[in-house]
Structure formats: structure tokens, C-alpha cells
Amino acid sequence: MIQFTDNARAVGAGRIGAQPIALAAATLLVILAGVASIALWRGYSGPSPDSDRATSARQLQTRAAQASEQLVEKTKGLEATQQESIDQLQVIQDQLQTVKRLFAAQQADTKRLSDQVSTLTEAIDGLRQSYASAQASETSGAPAPRYRAIRARAHATGSLRRGKSHS
């Protein structure tokens, strides 16, 4: 190991202490050279990463705002389309209810008419049977004396009426 004597320490400290201006100037030159080299390096390498990040952040915010506006517009469009669909569905439901009511009324009319046709068919059948039995009784023989008396009275009454109307 090397031993320093107090004398050597005094000489080294004296040297540093004797030229403090030169040492400060050298340190200042080293610092200025470092700052100049950093400035040159940033100047040639492009914008600083901090400004790139800020620009990127602003672009992202702008894109997010545009996307948000587009989503709002699309949502409003969907709401309008949905409301139109609901309105159309309500119109169709109203029309369906009207058709159902008309169909029910038509069915009731059809049933009523069918019942009337059945009643008329029965009445026609009854008249046919009555007519057939009347023809059968006329062909079977002379009319009964009772019917002759009624006919004679009806004929006489008709003649009297005609005679009074002419007078």
C-alpha cells in the first residue's frame, strides 16, 4: 500500500486550490459541450418523444370524439328506425283487428243467411208436399161438396162486388 504523507496531500490540494478558475472553466466547457451535443442530437433526430406523445394523444382524442359522434348519430338513426317500425307494426295490428272484426261479422251474416236458406228450404218442401197432396186429392175424385159451396159463395161475392163497383 502506498502511504500518502501530509505533505503530498498538501501539494495535491494546493494544486487544485491554486487553479480553481481553470478547473471551473474546464467543467463549464464539458457541460456546454454536453448540452450542445444533446441539442444537435435532438435537432437532427426529429421532434422530441414528448411532443410525439402529445400529438399522438391529441389525435387519439380527436378520433375518439369523432367515433363517439358517429356512434351517437348511428344510435339516433337506429332509434328513429325502431320508432318507425313500431308505428308500422301498430298500424298493421290495427288493420288486423279490423279484418278480424269484419271476418266475424261476415261469419255471423253467413250463419244467419244459412239459417234463412234452411228455413226457406223447409218451407218450400212443405209447400211442395202440400201441393202434391192437393193434386193427389183432385185427381182422386170430385171435390167435396163442402168445397163447392165455398167456391159458389166466393164466386157470388165476387160478382156482387163487381156489380156494386160498376153502379
Q: pTM (2 decimals)?
A: 0.39
The pLDDT of residue 72 is: 94
In the numeric block, the cell 494544486 is attached to 15
Distance CA 42, CA 60 (A): 25
Q: Quick one: average pLDDT of 87-92?
A: 96
pLDDT for the residue 52: 74
Tens-place pLDDT, residues 121-143: 999 999 999 988 888 888 765 55
d(CA 138, CA 132): 10
pLDDT tens per residue, range 6-38 = 555 555 555 556 688 888 999 999 999 999 998
Q: What is the mean pLDDT of the chain?
A: 81
pLDDT at residue 167, rounded to an integer: 47
DSSP string, 83-138: HHHHHHHHHHHHHHHHHHHHHHHHHHHHHHHHHHHHHHHHHHHHHHHHHHHHHHHH
What is the domain partition of the chain in residue ranges? 1-46
With a cut of 70, say whether residue 144 has pLDDT above it.
no
pLDDT over 80 at 161, yes or no: no
**Greatest Cα-to-Cα distance within the chain, rounded to the nearest angstrom:** 188
8 A C-beta contact, residue 49 and residue 56: no
- Tracing cell 167435396 back to the chain, one arrives at 144
| Residue 23 near residue 16, CB atoms below 8 Å | yes
8-12, 77-81, 94-98, 99-103 — which is least confidently predicted? 8-12
CA-to-CA distance for 77 and 71, rounded, in angstroms?
A: 10
